[in-house]
Amino acid sequence: MKQQHKIVVVGLGYIGLPTASMLATKGHQVLGVDVNPKAVDTINQGKIHIVEPDLDILVKSAVHSDNLKASLTPEAADVFILAVPTPFKHNDDASKTPDISYIEAATEAICPVLEEGNLVILESTSPVGTTERIRDIIADKRSDLQKIYVAHCPERVLPGHILRELVDNDRIVGGVDTASAEKARDLYKSFCNGEIVLTDSRTAELAKLVENSYRDVNIAFANELSLVTDKLGINVWELIRLANRHPRVDILSPGPGVGGHCIAVDPWFVISSAPELTPLIRTAREVNDSKPEWVIRKVIAKAERFKKPVIGCLGLAFKANIDDLRESPALDITRKLIASGVGEVKACEPNVHGDFNEFPLYELTEVLRDADILLLLVDHDEFKLIDKEFLKEKVLIDTRGIWR
């Protein structure tokens, strides 16, 4: 019989909550900790505060089995998993310096309840050296403890498919020493079917950053192609489809930019560690960061033919069929179109409910009825099903290629 543990998961967001729920359904006693009282209350009712397919079923099952509880404060446990944000220090910081203060705060919060032989795992995507920083904070705060195991196991799941990929994807586990890596591997074996590969913590940290930097460079190539094809009057999606028929070519799809807390962020962590050695990664980031402004210019040019156009912005999330707005180019574009005063902006985001109050959201039927210009920003399933009859009289700007 597999050993069951008392586990504290700090951070109940898009990674922490699915991980905590998965561990709970495997028989571990899990306490989820978050600074948001509303999230804590929601989870303790067996409900969820984020959108992810089937997560509501998993959380309900875990809570009703008494294996999952949520709290504002940590308790003594065998294992502590940190899944807190790692943003930039300042939104307007051109150097995009990583901010690990949430990780440091989470580490300090668990220090009073740590016990000899505990395992601390960092899941948050982090700049190189962060796991060692956790080790050093614990050593400073709890010098009475002889041995605390510390490891990094970066998440590498796709929103919308998190529960399946938590189980099936291979995992990298990097320890500050071999014993820490092995101890973390044993925990992940309790729910992971994928291969678990051991390394040191610094290599594990950089591996996650490299995975997303690779994808960012590929997307930048596609986005740059979309600019060229627009100038030449060529359909970029047809071009990429034809080019990808080559057996060694795999170009990704262009879009209005790159969002989410991975691909839009992680390359800057690599750049910050060696700015003089990463011109390619920086250029790719700059190409993708500039794409929203190009989209806005396209809309403004189309709006000139109207006296006061209604602009329907379809989608605010950073990718299809989720509610995650982090680093979303669609949200950035919509904000800037509203601020520009180029017309009346009506935004539709079918996956966001309740807590969003930055600007009004409209039902899809109303946007389709009223809009002179339809700007497709996210390829949600609802938008793919729109009857083409509704589009005939509209000016269409499709940044995702679903209406071609």
Instruction: Tell me the CA distances in angstroms from 381 to 115, 318, 386, one per residue in order.
Output: 48, 14, 9
Identified catalytic residue from 192, 262, 313, 348: 262
Q: Tell me if 200 sits within 8 A of 172, measured CB to CB.
A: no
What lies within 8 Å, CB to CB, of 352 at 6+ separation is 316, 317, 323, 325, 361
Neighbours of 225 (CB within 10 A): 17
With CA atoms as reference, report the closest residue to 44 among 64, 19, 26. 64
Q: Is 147 assigned a catalytic role? A: no
Q: Is 392 a catalytic residue?
A: no
State the catalytic residue, choosing from 183, 208, 302, 319.
Answer: 208
| Residue numbers annotated as active site | 208, 262
